[in-house]
Amino acid sequence: MLITTKAIVISSIKYAEADLIVSCYTQQVGLKSYMLRGVLKSKKGKLKASYFLPLTQFEMVAYHKGKGTLERIKEVKITKPYKELHTNVIKGTIVLFLSEIIKNAIQEEEANKALFQFLEQSLFWLDTSINYANFHLLFLLELTTYLGFYPDTSNINADYFNIQEGNFQTSDAGFYCEKGDVINNLKRLFGINFDTLSQLKLTKKQRSEVLHLLLVYYQLHLQGFKKPKSLDVLNQIFSN
Total domains in the fold of the chain: 2
Give yes or no: residues 116 and 154 share one domain: yes
Whether 133 is in a domain gets the answer yes
pLDDT tens per residue, range 126-143: 999 999 999 999 999 999
Whether 84 is in a domain gets the answer no
Give yes or no: residues 134 and 70 share one domain: no
CATH code of residue 16 = 2.40.50.140
CATH code of residue 145 = 1.20.1440.120
Domain extent for 193: 89-237
Amino acid, single-letter form, for residue 39:
V
pLDDT tens per residue, range 159-184: 999 999 999 999 998 889 999 999 99
- Residue 240 reports pLDDT greater than 70: no
pLDDT tens per residue, range 69-113: 899 999 999 988 999 999 999 999 999 999 999 999 998 788 999
Give yes or no: residues 66 and 138 share one domain: no
Enumerate residues 6+ apart whose C-beta is below 8 A from 222.
104, 105, 107, 147, 149
Domain's final residue, options 77, 104, 130: 77
Alpha-carbon gap, residue 192 to 240, rounded angstroms: 26
Give yes or no: residues 93 and 113 share one domain: yes
Give yes or no: residues 125 and 192 share one domain: yes
Q: What is the mean pLDDT of the chain?
A: 94
Which runs of E-coded beta strand occur in the chain?
Answer: 2-15, 19-26, 30-36, 57-63, 72-77, 160-162, 167-169, 177-178
Give yes or no: residues 71 and 93 share one domain: no
Whether 82 is in a domain gets the answer no
Domain's final residue, options 52, 77, 102: 77
Whether 156 is in a domain gets the answer yes
Whether 83 is in a domain gets the answer no
pLDDT score recorded for residue 151: 98
| The dihedral sign for the CA sequence 68, 46, 4, 10 | positive
Look up the pTM and report it. 0.94
Whether 225 is in a domain gets the answer yes
Give yes or no: residues 107 and 18 share one domain: no
Alpha-carbon gap, residue 234 to 231, rounded angstroms: 5
